[in-house]
A = this chain, B = another copy of it.
Amino acid sequence: MSGKGGVGKSSVTALLGGDLTKKGYQVGILDADITGPSIPKMFGIHAQVDLVENFFLPPEKHGIKMMSVNFLLGNENDPVIWRSPVIIRAVKDFWVKCAWGDLDYLLIDLPPGTGDVPLTVMQSIPLQGMIVVSSPHDVTVMIVKKAIQMAKKVGIPVLALVENMSYFSCPCCGQTTPVFGKSKVREVAQGAGIPLTAVLPLDPCLAMLQEEGKIFDYSLKEDLSALLGRREEQK
What residues of chain A have their CB less than 8 Å away from a CB belonging to chain B? 3-7, 10, 34-38, 41-42, 76-85, 87, 111-116, 119, 135, 137-140, 142-143, 145-147, 149-150, 153-154, 168, 170-173, 175, 177-181, 202, 204, 207-208, 210-211
Contacts and interface: CB of A to CB of B under 8 A. Distances in A.
Contact of A181 (B83, B146, B207): B207
Given A113-B36, A116-B83, A177-B204, A149 B78 contact: yes
B177 A171 contact: yes
The listed residue with most B CB atoms (<10 A of its CB), out of A41, A146, A149, A177, is: A146
A146 B36 contact: yes
A3 to B, nearest CB: 6
How many copies of this chain?
2
18 contacts: A4-B6, A5-B36, A36-B143, A42-B139, A78-B149, A80-B115, A81-B119, A81-B154, A83-B115, A84-B116, A111-B112, A111-B113, A138-B211, A170-B170, A171-B177, A173-B175, A178-B204, A181-B207
Main secondary structure of the interface of A (DSSP, over half): loop
B145 A77 contact: yes
A210 B153 contact: no
Contacts of A150: 79, 81
Contact of A143 (B38, B113, B175, B179): B38
Contacts of A145: 77
B5 A112 contact: yes
A70 B27 CA distance: 38
